Amino acid sequence: MTHSLTNKLLLAKWWKIVAAVLMCYTIIAGLLMPVPELDILNETIRNAYFHVPMWFGMMLILLMSLIYSIKYLRTGNLRYDYVAIEAAKVGVLYGILGLTTGMIWAQYTWGAWWNGDPKQNMAAIAMLMYLAYIVLRGSISDQDQRAKVSSVYNIFAFVALFPLLYIVPRLTDSLHPSSGGNQGFVAYDMDGWMRLVFYPAIIGWTFLGLWIASLNVRATYIEEGIDLEPTANPKS
Q: What is the pLDDT of residues 4-53, one digit of tens each?
A: 556 666 667 888 899 999 999 999 998 888 877 766 677 788 888 999 99
Q: How confident is the model at residue 188 (pLDDT cuts 50, 70, 90)?
A: very low
Where is pLDDT greater, at 229 or 194?
A: 194
pLDDT per residue as tens digits for the range 78-121: 999 999 999 999 999 999 999 999 998 888 888 888 888 888 89
- Mean pLDDT confidence for 137-149: 91
The pLDDT of residue 236? 47
Give the separation between CA 155 and CA 158, rounded to whole angstroms: 5
% of the chain exceeding 90 in pLDDT:
50
pTM value?
0.85
Contacts of 12-18 with CB under 8 Å at 24 or more apart are 15/207, 15/210, 15/211, 16/207, 16/211, 18/203, 18/204, 18/207
Number of C-beta neighbours around residue 43 at 10 A: 11
In the chain, where the domains are located: 2-224
Q: How confident is the model at residue 185 (pLDDT cuts 50, 70, 90)?
A: low
SS3 100: helix
Q: What's the chain's average pLDDT?
A: 84
Contacts of 192-199 with CB under 8 Å at 24 or more apart are 193/33, 193/34, 193/35, 194/33, 194/35, 194/36, 194/45, 194/48, 196/29, 196/33, 197/25, 197/26, 197/29, 197/30, 197/33, 197/49, 198/48, 198/49, 198/52, 198/53
The pLDDT of residue 119? 85
- Phi, psi (rounded to 5 degrees) for 12: -65, 150
The pLDDT of residue 166? 83
Is the pLDDT confidence value at 66 over 80? yes
Is the pLDDT confidence value at 235 over 50? no
The pLDDT of residue 117? 83
